[in-house]
A and B are shown apart, each in its own frame.
Chain A
């Protein structure tokens, strides 16, 4: 089936926004005292979140992980609120409680990004259970890395989701590295998706640098899930072009490997395709990029100008009073 022009433009736009947002962060996190904590980026992996989210409805729920910026922007999170949160400012989407690694945006149905590797999987099962319980025609997507597939929570979550035929899509963003361990150093099976058979669910390997392919796979999985057909395991093969975090010197990643994957960057791939097919003009693309620049610059300005929380605000939001 031909993917509509609108969907392709939407994915291109969301990848460009995500890349531009993270380019800014790449520089900001080098400034001493600017951004608290680690900086974990998804540069080069944008086709996954952007492809997945293009196939979702607003009411579908996304459970993400520590490498979440692209996922959340693609789901519609407000760049200002994200950037301010990454700065640790009071105007951030979580009032400075979460920072870059645990961003939670329940207003776009992205209630949880967890830094506990594999932690999102059982939670996604719980959200999907609620969707099934209320007989909603919506699904839950859990995005997790190849490292998470080695956690016990992966097994428990996939088994339960399949047993109860829950409307959940497990999307493994296999970026070839879990920390400093290359995929074949931490996992015995050739592909994470090979494990789907063990849970009696469909498994599919997708080119994770091809946004259209990710979109198509997610769309099929979503159709199956809302029809009561249960979960799907999709593995998007992509590459972590940057380190685990920005302080990681990547001494264990071969330089030619990084270079080869940079050549396969998902953004020019879709951009050139839509340009060649006349879905967008050069002029329109330039306008889109200018608009994205303005959004990101505005987000940074907003974050810079926003106040920090007062220290005693740390005591708020633990329990519902």
Chain B
């Protein structure tokens, strides 16, 4: 099977969907001509292949980029727009939160807004807190949006293709660190369902619910724990909204223990939602208190030791698992 980084997998999904459907176009800052010239990045080469009609470099205007998507989707196109970094979501948020998410409801179900907003996220590049800030819980808090955060190149391809074909607005968050780690990706038609979590590793002793880049941390921790005879089940949510409660609850019923792991900061983070669902619907299965392993409640710092301190790692996850075993 082909080995691709997540950036290349996203590229393949975009390319295949653009070939499949003439209504699909992409727009954003540097999606055509970028300040980077790196074939590992998602939109590299698309301008050359599809031309400037369908690959639109925009001004630095996040509200206009997101509004472009809302209006074009209302008029029947299938826009895939890029907000360069997750923190810049704040500049686009009126169009996404007040319009993309609500206009269908306000139309009484008459209108559809089939659009995808891609955003890059993730600490680890020393880029600082105004370029790295995982805001997925903000978006997941908005009814009317779907929120997808893939953790593997194959899922990125399959989920993005599904997102582009979805008739709802989808916020698709890619962790940049994953762009450069190759993994197997099916060629051609490969769809992954939105709203369906994936058990990336089965286990009997503890459930770790995670998503995006933290999947790698969870899998590494599970490999280490295995040597001690501890079997962690790793549930990759893939989609935060709609949340696949069933897969999470099935796993917790089996293991009786839960740790939720995410890179985003702790207070108001999506781990709280997962924890609440489990407390409400699987309390009697829990053998121990659940744990959250998250970034601390600080902006992402720049200095390498500070940034490493921010990002949850295997040690923190293993310590949390040991606490409840």
Question: Do residues A130 and B75 form an inter-chain contact, with CB atoms below 8 A?
Answer: yes
Please tell me which stretch of B61-69, B183-191, B205-213, B277-285 contacts chain A, meaning at least 4 of its Cβ atoms lie within 8 angstroms of it: B61-69
A318 with B110, Cβ < 8 A, contacts A123-B74, A125-B67, A163-B59 known: no
Question: Do residues B108 and A126 form an inter-chain contact, with CB atoms below 8 A?
Answer: no
Complex Cα distance A119/B93, Å? 11
Which chain B positions have C-beta within 8 A of A152? 63
Question: Do residues A129 and B68 form an inter-chain contact, with CB atoms below 8 A?
Answer: yes
Complex Cα distance A159/B25, Å? 20
Does B303 lie at the interface of the complex (its beta carbon under 8 Å from any beta carbon of A)?
Answer: no
Please tell me which stretch of B95-103, B215-223, B232-240, B260-268 contacts chain A, meaning at least 4 of its Cβ atoms lie within 8 angstroms of it: B95-103
Complex Cα distance A152/B90, Å? 13
Which chain A positions have C-beta within 8 A of B25? 133
Complex Cα distance A152/B106, Å? 24
Please give me the residue from chain B that is nearest to A158 by CB atom.
B64
B interface bracket (residues with beta carbon within 8 Å of A): 35 or more
Question: Do residues B73 and A126 form an inter-chain contact, with CB atoms below 8 A?
Answer: yes
Question: Do residues A104 and B108 form an inter-chain contact, with CB atoms below 8 A?
Answer: yes
Question: Do residues A126 and B61 form an inter-chain contact, with CB atoms below 8 A?
Answer: no
Question: Do residues B104 and A126 form an inter-chain contact, with CB atoms below 8 A?
Answer: no
A160 with B64, Cβ < 8 A, contacts A123-B70, A126-B75, A127-B71 known: yes
Which chain A positions have C-beta within 8 A of B53? 133
Complex Cα distance A102/B112, Å? 16
Question: Do residues B106 and A94 form an inter-chain contact, with CB atoms below 8 A?
Answer: yes
Looking at the complex, which one of A92, A116, A318 makes contact with B104 (CB distance below 8 Å)? A318
Does A61 lie at the interface of the complex (its beta carbon under 8 Å from any beta carbon of B)?
Answer: yes
Does B125 lie at the interface of the complex (its beta carbon under 8 Å from any beta carbon of A)?
Answer: no
A130 with B76, Cβ < 8 A, contacts A95-B108, A111-B111 known: yes
Does B105 lie at the interface of the complex (its beta carbon under 8 Å from any beta carbon of A)?
Answer: yes
Does A98 lie at the interface of the complex (its beta carbon under 8 Å from any beta carbon of B)?
Answer: yes
Does B143 lie at the interface of the complex (its beta carbon under 8 Å from any beta carbon of A)?
Answer: yes
CB distance from B206 to the nearest CB of A (A): 33
Complex Cα distance A121/B106, Å? 18
CB distance from A247 to the nearest CB of B (A): 22
Which chain A positions have C-beta within 8 A of B95? 119, 122-123
Which chain A positions have C-beta within 8 A of B103? 104, 111-112
Which chain B positions have C-beta within 8 A of A159? 59, 61, 64
Does B43 lie at the interface of the complex (its beta carbon under 8 Å from any beta carbon of A)?
Answer: no
Complex Cα distance A163/B27, Å? 14
Question: Do residues A106 and B110 form an inter-chain contact, with CB atoms below 8 A?
Answer: yes
Looking at the complex, which one of B72, B144, B168 makes contact with A130 (CB distance below 8 Å)? B72
Question: Do residues A157 and B67 form an inter-chain contact, with CB atoms below 8 A?
Answer: yes
Question: Do residues B94 and A127 form an inter-chain contact, with CB atoms below 8 A?
Answer: no
A122-159 residues with Cβ-Cβ distance < 8 A to B are: 122-131, 133, 140, 152-153, 156-157, 159
Which chain B positions have C-beta within 8 A of A130? 71-72, 75-77
The 6 tightest CB contacts between A and B, nearest first, are A126-B71, A122-B67, A130-B75, A317-B109, A94-B108, A95-B108
Residues of B within 8 A of A (CB): 25, 53, 56, 58-59, 61-64, 66-77, 79, 94-95, 98-99, 103-112, 143-144, 146, 166-168
A-B contacts, 22 listed (Cβ < 8 Å): A94-B106, A95-B109, A97-B108, A98-B108, A111-B103, A111-B107, A112-B74, A112-B111, A116-B98, A119-B94, A119-B99, A122-B70, A122-B95, A126-B72, A127-B74, A129-B71, A140-B71, A152-B63, A156-B64, A159-B61, A160-B59, A317-B107
Known contacts A95-B109, A98-B107, A130-B71; 8 further A-B pairs (Cβ under 8 A): A95-B108, A106-B110, A112-B106, A122-B70, A122-B71, A124-B71, A130-B76, A317-B104
